[in-house]
Amino acid sequence: MDSLTGLLFGISTALDPVVLLYCFAGVFIGTFIGVLPGLGALATISLLLPLTYHVPPVMGFVMLAGVYYGAQYGGSTASILLNLPGTPSNVVTCIDGYQMTQQGRAGPALFMTAASSFVGGMIGVLLLIFFVNDVAAIGLKFGSAEYFSLMCLGLVTASTVATGSRLKSVAMVVVGLLLGTVGTDLDSGVPRFAFGITELLDGVSLVVLAMGLFGFVEVARSAKYAMPQLYSKITVQSMLPTKQDVKRSIAPTLRGSIIGSFFGALPGTGPSIAAFSAYSVEKKFSKNAKKLGTGAIEGVVAPEAANNAAAQTAFIPTLTLGIPGDAIMALMIGALMMHGIQPGPLMIANQPEIFWGLIASFIIGNVFLLILNIPMIGIWVGLLRIPYHYLYPAILTFIALGVYSVNNNVFDIYAVAVIGVAGYMLTIAKFEFAPLLLGFVLGPLIEENLRRALVLSSGSFMTFIERPISAGFLVAILTIAVVVVVKSTKPQT
Protein backbone atom coordinates (compact mmCIF):
# COMPACT_ATOMS: atom_id res chain seq x y z
CA MET A 1 0.00 0.00 0.00
CA ASP A 2 1.58 3.29 -1.11
CA SER A 3 1.49 6.43 1.05
CA LEU A 4 -1.40 8.11 -0.77
CA THR A 5 -3.59 5.00 -0.76
CA GLY A 6 -2.74 4.39 2.88
CA LEU A 7 -3.55 7.98 3.81
CA LEU A 8 -6.95 7.81 2.07
CA PHE A 9 -7.68 4.56 3.90
CA GLY A 10 -6.59 6.17 7.16
CA ILE A 11 -8.79 9.21 6.60
CA SER A 12 -11.82 6.96 6.16
CA THR A 13 -10.96 5.41 9.52
CA ALA A 14 -10.18 8.70 11.27
CA LEU A 15 -13.45 10.31 10.08
CA ASP A 16 -15.51 7.71 11.91
CA PRO A 17 -17.56 9.78 14.42
CA VAL A 18 -16.36 7.77 17.43
CA VAL A 19 -12.71 8.00 16.35
CA LEU A 20 -13.18 11.75 15.83
CA LEU A 21 -14.54 12.01 19.36
CA TYR A 22 -11.52 10.23 20.81
CA CYS A 23 -9.20 12.38 18.71
CA PHE A 24 -10.83 15.56 20.01
CA ALA A 25 -10.79 14.24 23.57
CA GLY A 26 -7.07 13.47 23.26
CA VAL A 27 -6.02 16.88 21.95
CA PHE A 28 -8.33 18.63 24.42
CA ILE A 29 -6.86 16.74 27.38
CA GLY A 30 -3.37 17.28 25.97
CA THR A 31 -3.91 21.02 25.75
CA PHE A 32 -5.40 21.02 29.23
CA ILE A 33 -2.46 19.28 30.87
CA GLY A 34 0.01 21.25 28.75
CA VAL A 35 -1.42 24.50 30.06
CA LEU A 36 -1.08 23.41 33.70
CA PRO A 37 2.58 23.57 34.83
CA GLY A 38 3.78 20.47 36.65
CA LEU A 39 1.61 18.03 34.74
CA GLY A 40 2.99 16.56 31.56
CA ALA A 41 1.99 14.30 28.72
CA LEU A 42 3.92 11.40 30.24
CA ALA A 43 1.98 11.47 33.50
CA THR A 44 -1.34 11.94 31.71
CA ILE A 45 -0.77 9.13 29.21
CA SER A 46 0.15 6.91 32.16
CA LEU A 47 -3.21 7.77 33.74
CA LEU A 48 -5.11 7.09 30.51
CA LEU A 49 -3.42 3.78 29.68
CA PRO A 50 -6.03 1.68 31.53
CA LEU A 51 -8.77 3.29 29.44
CA THR A 52 -7.24 1.92 26.23
CA TYR A 53 -7.88 -1.64 27.45
CA HIS A 54 -11.62 -1.07 27.33
CA VAL A 55 -11.92 0.46 23.84
CA PRO A 56 -10.82 -0.70 20.36
CA PRO A 57 -7.06 -0.11 19.84
CA VAL A 58 -7.41 2.50 17.08
CA MET A 59 -9.55 4.74 19.30
CA GLY A 60 -7.30 4.34 22.32
CA PHE A 61 -4.10 5.15 20.46
CA VAL A 62 -5.62 8.07 18.57
CA MET A 63 -6.50 9.54 21.96
CA LEU A 64 -3.08 8.87 23.51
CA ALA A 65 -1.30 10.36 20.50
CA GLY A 66 -3.57 13.42 20.70
CA VAL A 67 -2.56 13.91 24.32
CA TYR A 68 1.11 13.76 23.30
CA TYR A 69 1.15 16.36 20.56
CA GLY A 70 -1.66 18.37 22.14
CA ALA A 71 0.51 18.95 25.21
CA GLN A 72 3.14 20.59 23.00
CA TYR A 73 0.56 23.17 21.94
CA GLY A 74 -0.83 23.84 25.41
CA GLY A 75 2.55 23.94 27.12
CA SER A 76 3.41 27.28 25.53
CA THR A 77 0.54 29.12 27.28
CA ALA A 78 1.98 28.94 30.81
CA SER A 79 5.48 29.47 29.39
CA ILE A 80 4.48 32.76 27.80
CA LEU A 81 2.14 34.07 30.51
CA LEU A 82 3.81 32.83 33.70
CA ASN A 83 7.38 31.90 32.72
CA LEU A 84 6.51 28.33 33.76
CA PRO A 85 7.00 25.68 31.04
CA GLY A 86 3.99 23.42 30.65
CA THR A 87 6.21 20.63 29.26
CA PRO A 88 10.01 20.20 29.14
CA SER A 89 10.06 21.11 25.45
CA ASN A 90 8.49 24.50 26.27
CA VAL A 91 11.37 25.59 28.52
CA VAL A 92 13.10 27.59 25.79
CA THR A 93 9.80 29.31 24.90
CA CYS A 94 9.90 31.03 28.29
CA ILE A 95 12.97 33.05 27.32
CA ASP A 96 11.33 35.34 24.77
CA GLY A 97 7.68 34.47 25.41
CA TYR A 98 7.61 35.84 28.95
CA GLN A 99 9.54 38.92 27.85
CA MET A 100 6.79 39.60 25.30
CA THR A 101 4.19 39.28 28.09
CA GLN A 102 6.03 41.82 30.20
CA GLN A 103 6.05 44.14 27.18
CA GLY A 104 2.26 43.81 26.88
CA ARG A 105 2.47 41.56 23.79
CA ALA A 106 1.30 38.27 25.27
CA GLY A 107 -1.59 38.09 22.76
CA PRO A 108 0.53 38.13 19.58
CA ALA A 109 2.98 35.69 21.22
CA LEU A 110 0.15 33.21 21.89
CA PHE A 111 -1.33 33.64 18.40
CA MET A 112 1.96 33.17 16.55
CA THR A 113 2.82 30.23 18.80
CA ALA A 114 -0.42 28.48 17.83
CA ALA A 115 0.17 29.25 14.15
CA SER A 116 3.80 28.06 14.14
CA SER A 117 2.84 24.96 16.12
CA PHE A 118 0.24 24.14 13.48
CA VAL A 119 2.72 24.62 10.62
CA GLY A 120 5.38 22.57 12.40
CA GLY A 121 2.93 19.80 13.20
CA MET A 122 1.61 19.61 9.63
CA ILE A 123 5.11 19.54 8.12
CA GLY A 124 5.99 16.74 10.53
CA VAL A 125 2.86 14.83 9.50
CA LEU A 126 3.65 15.21 5.78
CA LEU A 127 7.18 13.91 6.30
CA LEU A 128 5.79 11.04 8.37
CA ILE A 129 3.38 10.12 5.56
CA PHE A 130 5.90 10.21 2.71
CA PHE A 131 8.88 8.61 4.45
CA VAL A 132 7.20 6.01 6.63
CA ASN A 133 7.09 3.37 3.84
CA ASP A 134 10.77 3.91 3.04
CA VAL A 135 11.78 3.44 6.66
CA ALA A 136 9.54 0.36 6.92
CA ALA A 137 11.14 -1.09 3.77
CA ILE A 138 14.54 -0.71 5.39
CA GLY A 139 13.15 -2.29 8.55
CA LEU A 140 12.13 -5.41 6.61
CA LYS A 141 15.84 -6.07 6.02
CA PHE A 142 16.45 -6.24 9.77
CA GLY A 143 16.94 -9.53 11.56
CA SER A 144 17.34 -10.29 15.25
CA ALA A 145 20.98 -9.16 15.26
CA GLU A 146 20.10 -5.78 13.69
CA TYR A 147 17.22 -5.19 16.10
CA PHE A 148 19.41 -6.05 19.07
CA SER A 149 22.13 -3.61 17.99
CA LEU A 150 19.62 -0.87 17.09
CA MET A 151 17.84 -1.13 20.43
CA CYS A 152 21.16 -0.97 22.26
CA LEU A 153 21.99 2.14 20.23
CA GLY A 154 18.66 3.67 21.26
CA LEU A 155 19.41 3.05 24.95
CA VAL A 156 22.94 4.46 24.67
CA THR A 157 21.72 7.54 22.82
CA ALA A 158 18.92 8.14 25.32
CA SER A 159 21.28 7.89 28.28
CA THR A 160 23.94 10.18 26.79
CA VAL A 161 21.69 12.99 25.57
CA ALA A 162 19.76 13.28 28.86
CA THR A 163 19.84 16.70 30.50
CA GLY A 164 21.25 15.55 33.83
CA SER A 165 24.23 13.45 34.86
CA ARG A 166 25.15 10.87 32.22
CA LEU A 167 26.22 8.42 34.92
CA LYS A 168 22.83 8.71 36.60
CA SER A 169 21.10 8.26 33.25
CA VAL A 170 23.05 5.07 32.60
CA ALA A 171 22.17 3.88 36.11
CA MET A 172 18.47 4.46 35.38
CA VAL A 173 18.75 2.50 32.13
CA VAL A 174 20.25 -0.41 34.08
CA VAL A 175 17.46 -0.24 36.68
CA GLY A 176 14.91 -0.29 33.84
CA LEU A 177 16.59 -3.32 32.29
CA LEU A 178 16.54 -5.13 35.64
CA LEU A 179 12.86 -4.35 36.20
CA GLY A 180 12.16 -5.74 32.73
CA THR A 181 13.56 -9.13 33.80
CA VAL A 182 11.11 -9.51 36.70
CA GLY A 183 8.58 -12.29 36.11
CA THR A 184 8.55 -15.77 34.60
CA ASP A 185 11.20 -16.53 31.99
CA LEU A 186 9.38 -17.46 28.80
CA ASP A 187 11.97 -20.03 27.71
CA SER A 188 12.60 -21.92 30.95
CA GLY A 189 9.46 -21.10 32.94
CA VAL A 190 11.63 -20.17 35.95
CA PRO A 191 10.50 -17.18 38.06
CA ARG A 192 13.03 -14.32 38.09
CA PHE A 193 13.23 -11.75 40.90
CA ALA A 194 9.63 -12.44 42.00
CA PHE A 195 10.73 -13.00 45.64
CA GLY A 196 7.81 -15.36 46.22
CA ILE A 197 5.21 -12.69 45.39
CA THR A 198 2.58 -14.30 43.18
CA GLU A 199 1.55 -10.99 41.58
CA LEU A 200 5.09 -10.49 40.25
CA LEU A 201 5.15 -13.76 38.30
CA ASP A 202 3.69 -11.88 35.32
CA GLY A 203 6.30 -9.14 35.70
CA VAL A 204 6.04 -5.50 36.68
CA SER A 205 3.06 -3.88 35.00
CA LEU A 206 3.87 -1.03 32.63
CA VAL A 207 0.78 0.83 33.87
CA VAL A 208 1.83 0.48 37.51
CA LEU A 209 5.38 1.61 36.80
CA ALA A 210 4.30 4.57 34.65
CA MET A 211 1.64 5.74 37.09
CA GLY A 212 4.01 5.47 40.03
CA LEU A 213 6.91 7.30 38.41
CA PHE A 214 5.09 9.83 36.28
CA GLY A 215 1.75 10.22 38.04
CA PHE A 216 2.37 9.91 41.77
CA VAL A 217 5.80 11.54 41.63
CA GLU A 218 4.66 14.49 39.50
CA VAL A 219 1.84 15.18 41.93
CA ALA A 220 4.21 15.05 44.88
CA ARG A 221 6.75 17.32 43.17
CA SER A 222 4.31 19.91 41.88
CA ALA A 223 1.92 20.16 44.83
CA LYS A 224 4.46 22.00 46.96
CA TYR A 225 4.84 24.85 44.47
CA ALA A 226 2.44 27.77 44.52
CA MET A 227 1.10 29.03 41.20
CA PRO A 228 2.11 32.62 40.44
CA GLN A 229 -0.80 35.05 40.27
CA LEU A 230 -1.94 35.70 36.71
CA TYR A 231 -3.01 39.26 36.01
CA SER A 232 -2.99 39.28 32.21
CA LYS A 233 -6.37 39.30 30.50
CA ILE A 234 -6.14 37.78 27.04
CA THR A 235 -8.88 38.13 24.42
CA VAL A 236 -8.98 36.91 20.83
CA GLN A 237 -8.86 40.50 19.61
CA SER A 238 -5.72 41.25 21.64
CA MET A 239 -4.01 38.21 20.08
CA LEU A 240 -3.94 39.58 16.53
CA PRO A 241 -0.29 39.99 15.41
CA THR A 242 1.12 42.79 13.29
CA LYS A 243 2.26 42.33 9.70
CA GLN A 244 5.83 42.64 10.96
CA ASP A 245 5.26 39.78 13.44
CA VAL A 246 3.99 37.54 10.65
CA LYS A 247 6.82 38.47 8.28
CA ARG A 248 9.50 37.83 10.92
CA SER A 249 7.94 34.48 11.86
CA ILE A 250 7.85 32.77 8.45
CA ALA A 251 11.52 31.78 8.09
CA PRO A 252 12.04 30.77 11.76
CA THR A 253 8.89 28.64 11.63
CA LEU A 254 10.08 26.79 8.54
CA ARG A 255 13.59 26.33 9.95
CA GLY A 256 12.18 25.10 13.26
CA SER A 257 9.86 22.68 11.47
CA ILE A 258 12.71 21.13 9.49
CA ILE A 259 14.96 20.87 12.56
CA GLY A 260 12.15 19.40 14.65
CA SER A 261 11.26 16.86 11.98
CA PHE A 262 14.87 15.70 11.85
CA PHE A 263 15.39 15.34 15.59
CA GLY A 264 11.96 13.79 16.15
CA ALA A 265 12.83 10.90 13.83
CA LEU A 266 16.05 10.13 15.73
CA PRO A 267 15.70 7.62 18.58
CA GLY A 268 16.73 9.08 21.92
CA THR A 269 16.19 12.78 21.13
CA GLY A 270 12.61 14.11 20.99
CA PRO A 271 10.84 17.50 21.18
CA SER A 272 12.99 19.03 23.94
CA ILE A 273 16.28 18.67 22.06
CA ALA A 274 14.53 19.80 18.86
CA ALA A 275 13.27 22.98 20.54
CA PHE A 276 16.68 23.91 21.99
CA SER A 277 18.39 23.15 18.68
CA ALA A 278 15.95 25.37 16.77
CA TYR A 279 16.55 28.22 19.21
CA SER A 280 20.32 27.81 18.84
CA VAL A 281 20.01 27.95 15.06
CA GLU A 282 18.01 31.18 15.28
CA LYS A 283 20.73 32.75 17.45
CA LYS A 284 23.22 32.07 14.67
CA PHE A 285 21.23 32.64 11.49
CA SER A 286 18.29 34.92 12.28
CA LYS A 287 18.35 38.48 10.98
CA ASN A 288 17.23 39.56 14.45
CA ALA A 289 19.59 37.28 16.38
CA LYS A 290 20.69 40.11 18.68
CA LYS A 291 17.10 40.61 19.84
CA LEU A 292 16.67 37.00 20.98
CA GLY A 293 16.22 36.89 24.73
CA THR A 294 14.59 40.32 24.82
CA GLY A 295 11.14 39.35 23.56
CA ALA A 296 11.76 38.48 19.91
CA ILE A 297 8.98 36.67 18.08
CA GLU A 298 11.60 34.44 16.42
CA GLY A 299 12.53 33.04 19.83
CA VAL A 300 8.94 31.91 20.33
CA VAL A 301 7.88 30.50 16.96
CA ALA A 302 11.07 28.56 16.10
CA PRO A 303 11.15 26.26 19.16
CA GLU A 304 7.37 25.80 19.11
CA ALA A 305 7.40 24.77 15.44
CA ALA A 306 10.30 22.43 16.23
CA ASN A 307 8.76 20.64 19.20
CA ASN A 308 5.47 20.10 17.37
CA ALA A 309 7.18 18.77 14.25
CA ALA A 310 9.28 16.48 16.44
CA ALA A 311 6.16 15.20 18.21
CA GLN A 312 4.83 13.99 14.85
CA THR A 313 7.99 12.50 13.33
CA ALA A 314 8.77 10.72 16.61
CA PHE A 315 6.23 8.14 15.42
CA ILE A 316 8.46 7.18 12.45
CA PRO A 317 10.94 4.98 14.37
CA THR A 318 8.24 4.00 16.87
CA LEU A 319 5.76 2.58 14.37
CA THR A 320 8.09 1.37 11.61
CA LEU A 321 11.02 -0.02 13.64
CA GLY A 322 9.54 -0.49 17.09
CA ILE A 323 12.21 1.80 18.56
CA PRO A 324 10.95 4.54 20.91
CA GLY A 325 12.45 8.00 20.57
CA ASP A 326 11.59 9.00 24.13
CA ALA A 327 9.78 7.80 27.25
CA ILE A 328 6.33 8.63 25.87
CA MET A 329 6.99 6.62 22.73
CA ALA A 330 8.15 3.77 24.98
CA LEU A 331 4.76 3.91 26.69
CA MET A 332 3.06 3.81 23.30
CA ILE A 333 5.02 0.71 22.29
CA GLY A 334 4.26 -0.97 25.60
CA ALA A 335 0.54 -0.25 25.21
CA LEU A 336 0.53 -1.59 21.64
CA MET A 337 2.24 -4.79 22.73
CA MET A 338 -0.26 -5.28 25.53
CA HIS A 339 -2.94 -5.35 22.83
CA GLY A 340 -0.95 -7.98 20.95
CA ILE A 341 0.17 -5.47 18.31
CA GLN A 342 3.86 -5.59 17.44
CA PRO A 343 5.13 -2.22 16.16
CA GLY A 344 7.61 -2.60 13.31
CA PRO A 345 7.85 -2.76 9.53
CA LEU A 346 5.07 -5.38 9.29
CA MET A 347 2.61 -3.22 11.21
CA ILE A 348 1.70 -1.31 8.03
CA ALA A 349 0.57 -4.54 6.35
CA ASN A 350 -0.81 -6.34 9.41
CA GLN A 351 -2.56 -3.43 11.14
CA PRO A 352 -3.32 -0.85 8.39
CA GLU A 353 -6.44 0.43 10.17
CA ILE A 354 -4.47 1.36 13.29
CA PHE A 355 -1.37 2.53 11.43
CA TRP A 356 -2.93 4.77 8.78
CA GLY A 357 -5.89 5.73 10.97
CA LEU A 358 -3.46 7.05 13.57
CA ILE A 359 -1.48 9.05 11.01
CA ALA A 360 -4.61 10.50 9.42
CA SER A 361 -5.84 11.52 12.88
CA PHE A 362 -2.73 13.70 13.25
CA ILE A 363 -3.98 15.96 10.46
CA ILE A 364 -7.44 16.23 12.01
CA GLY A 365 -5.96 16.66 15.49
CA ASN A 366 -3.76 19.56 14.39
CA VAL A 367 -6.83 21.32 12.96
CA PHE A 368 -8.66 20.74 16.26
CA LEU A 369 -5.69 22.19 18.14
CA LEU A 370 -5.61 25.32 16.01
CA ILE A 371 -9.26 25.87 16.90
CA LEU A 372 -8.70 25.11 20.58
CA ASN A 373 -5.68 27.36 20.97
CA ILE A 374 -6.98 30.58 19.42
CA PRO A 375 -10.75 31.04 19.91
CA MET A 376 -10.71 29.22 23.26
CA ILE A 377 -7.68 30.96 24.73
CA GLY A 378 -9.82 32.49 27.50
CA ILE A 379 -10.64 29.02 28.84
CA TRP A 380 -6.98 28.01 29.03
CA VAL A 381 -6.00 31.25 30.73
CA GLY A 382 -8.78 30.62 33.23
CA LEU A 383 -7.32 27.20 34.04
CA LEU A 384 -4.17 28.86 35.28
CA ARG A 385 -6.22 30.35 38.12
CA ILE A 386 -7.35 26.96 39.50
CA PRO A 387 -5.67 26.37 42.91
CA TYR A 388 -3.37 23.35 42.92
CA HIS A 389 -4.88 21.95 46.12
CA TYR A 390 -8.07 21.22 44.18
CA LEU A 391 -6.35 19.47 41.30
CA TYR A 392 -3.99 17.00 42.92
CA PRO A 393 -6.34 15.03 45.22
CA ALA A 394 -8.48 14.37 42.13
CA ILE A 395 -5.42 13.20 40.17
CA LEU A 396 -4.38 10.78 42.94
CA THR A 397 -7.90 9.36 42.98
CA PHE A 398 -7.77 8.80 39.21
CA ILE A 399 -4.39 7.08 39.59
CA ALA A 400 -5.82 4.60 42.12
CA LEU A 401 -8.97 3.95 40.08
CA GLY A 402 -7.05 3.63 36.82
CA VAL A 403 -4.47 1.14 38.03
CA TYR A 404 -7.11 -0.95 39.83
CA SER A 405 -9.28 -1.13 36.70
CA VAL A 406 -6.58 -2.98 34.71
CA ASN A 407 -6.43 -6.20 36.74
CA ASN A 408 -8.98 -5.50 39.53
CA ASN A 409 -6.13 -6.11 41.96
CA VAL A 410 -5.52 -4.04 45.10
CA PHE A 411 -1.85 -5.12 44.99
CA ASP A 412 -1.35 -2.81 42.02
CA ILE A 413 -2.43 0.22 44.07
CA TYR A 414 0.08 -0.65 46.79
CA ALA A 415 2.73 -1.18 44.10
CA VAL A 416 2.05 2.30 42.64
CA ALA A 417 2.46 3.82 46.11
CA VAL A 418 5.76 1.99 46.73
CA ILE A 419 7.12 2.90 43.29
CA GLY A 420 5.92 6.47 43.74
CA VAL A 421 7.67 6.91 47.08
CA ALA A 422 10.88 5.37 45.70
CA GLY A 423 10.60 7.56 42.63
CA TYR A 424 10.16 10.71 44.70
CA MET A 425 13.32 9.90 46.64
CA LEU A 426 15.14 9.42 43.33
CA THR A 427 13.97 12.84 42.13
CA ILE A 428 15.46 14.39 45.25
CA ALA A 429 18.76 12.81 44.21
CA LYS A 430 18.19 14.28 40.70
CA PHE A 431 17.68 11.00 38.83
CA GLU A 432 15.62 11.05 35.64
CA PHE A 433 12.95 8.46 34.87
CA ALA A 434 12.83 8.59 31.07
CA PRO A 435 15.95 6.36 30.67
CA LEU A 436 14.46 3.92 33.19
CA LEU A 437 11.24 3.59 31.20
CA LEU A 438 13.14 3.13 27.94
CA GLY A 439 15.23 0.40 29.57
CA PHE A 440 12.10 -1.27 30.97
CA VAL A 441 10.32 -1.38 27.60
CA LEU A 442 13.34 -2.22 25.44
CA GLY A 443 14.96 -4.64 27.90
CA PRO A 444 12.73 -7.66 27.18
CA LEU A 445 12.92 -6.94 23.44
CA ILE A 446 16.72 -6.77 23.59
CA GLU A 447 16.85 -10.05 25.51
CA GLU A 448 14.46 -11.73 23.07
CA ASN A 449 16.41 -10.62 19.98
CA LEU A 450 19.75 -11.49 21.59
CA ARG A 451 18.58 -15.02 22.31
CA ARG A 452 17.07 -15.44 18.85
CA ALA A 453 20.19 -14.14 17.11
CA LEU A 454 22.41 -16.53 19.08
CA VAL A 455 20.11 -19.48 18.33
CA LEU A 456 20.21 -18.70 14.61
CA SER A 457 24.01 -18.38 14.69
CA SER A 458 24.54 -21.51 16.80
CA GLY A 459 25.74 -19.43 19.74
CA SER A 460 28.26 -17.30 17.83
CA PHE A 461 28.50 -13.67 18.92
CA MET A 462 30.25 -12.92 15.63
CA THR A 463 26.83 -12.67 13.98
CA PHE A 464 26.50 -9.13 15.39
CA ILE A 465 29.75 -8.10 13.64
CA GLU A 466 29.45 -10.11 10.45
CA ARG A 467 26.08 -8.55 9.54
CA PRO A 468 26.87 -5.08 8.11
CA ILE A 469 23.84 -3.18 9.48
CA SER A 470 24.31 -4.61 12.96
CA ALA A 471 28.04 -3.85 12.84
CA GLY A 472 27.24 -0.26 11.81
CA PHE A 473 25.03 0.22 14.86
CA LEU A 474 27.73 -1.24 17.13
CA VAL A 475 30.30 1.15 15.64
CA ALA A 476 27.91 4.03 16.34
CA ILE A 477 27.56 2.87 19.96
CA LEU A 478 31.35 2.70 20.32
CA THR A 479 31.76 6.15 18.75
CA ILE A 480 29.21 7.71 21.11
CA ALA A 481 30.89 6.06 24.10
CA VAL A 482 34.32 7.36 23.06
CA VAL A 483 33.00 10.89 22.49
CA VAL A 484 31.29 10.93 25.88
CA VAL A 485 34.41 9.66 27.66
CA VAL A 486 36.66 12.19 25.89
CA LYS A 487 34.32 15.07 26.73
CA SER A 488 34.01 14.00 30.36
CA THR A 489 37.79 13.76 30.83
CA LYS A 490 38.56 17.00 28.98
CA PRO A 491 39.65 19.75 31.44
CA GLN A 492 37.07 22.49 31.92
CA THR A 493 38.28 25.97 30.92
User: In this predicted structure, which of 100-114, 154-168, 305-319 has the lowest mean pLDDT?
Assistant: 154-168
pTM of the shown model: 0.71
Q: What is the distance between the alpha carbons of residues 116 and 303, in angstroms, rounded to a whole number?
A: 9
Q: How remote is the C-alpha of 451 from its chain's centroid?
A: 29
Q: What is the distance between the alpha carbons of residues 179 and 199, in angstroms, rounded to a whole number?
A: 14
pLDDT at 486: 79
What's the whole-number mean pLDDT along residues 426-440? Answer: 83
Q: What is the distance between the alpha carbons of residues 161 and 169, in angstroms, rounded to a whole number?
A: 9
Residue 223, pLDDT > 70, answer no
Q: pLDDT for 15-60, tens place per residue? A: 889 999 999 999 998 888 877 765 667 778 877 887 777 888 888 8
Mean pLDDT taken over the chain: 81
Q: pLDDT for 447-486, tens place per residue? A: 888 998 998 888 888 989 988 888 998 998 898 888 877 7
- Taking CA 32 as the corner, what is the angle to CA 26 and CA 34, rounded to the nearest 5 degrees? 100
pLDDT at 22: 92
pLDDT at 18: 92
pLDDT at 44: 80
User: In this predicted structure, which of 58-62, 331-335, 424-428 has the lowest mean pLDDT?
Assistant: 331-335
What's the whole-number mean pLDDT along residues 421-430? Answer: 89
Residue 258, pLDDT > 70, answer yes
Residue 254, pLDDT > 70, answer yes
Helix (H, G, I), strand (E, B) or coil at 184: strand
User: C-alpha dihedral over 220, 39, 35, 319, to 10 degrees?
Assistant: 180
pLDDT at 475: 92
Q: What is the distance between the alpha carbons of residues 248 and 419, in angstroms, rounded to a whole number?
A: 48
Helix (H, G, I), strand (E, B) or coil at 192: strand
pLDDT band at 272 (very low <50, low <70, confident <90, very high): confident
DSSP conformation letters of 306-357: HHHHHHHHTHHHHHHT---SSHHHHHHHHHHHHTT---STTHHHH-HHHHHH
Q: pLDDT for 358-414, tens place per residue? A: 888 988 998 888 888 777 777 766 666 666 677 677 777 877 877 787 677 888 889
Contact 268, 154 (CB under 8 A): yes
What's the whole-number mean pLDDT along residues 212-230? Answer: 68
Beta strands in 135-259 (DSSP E): 183-184, 191-192
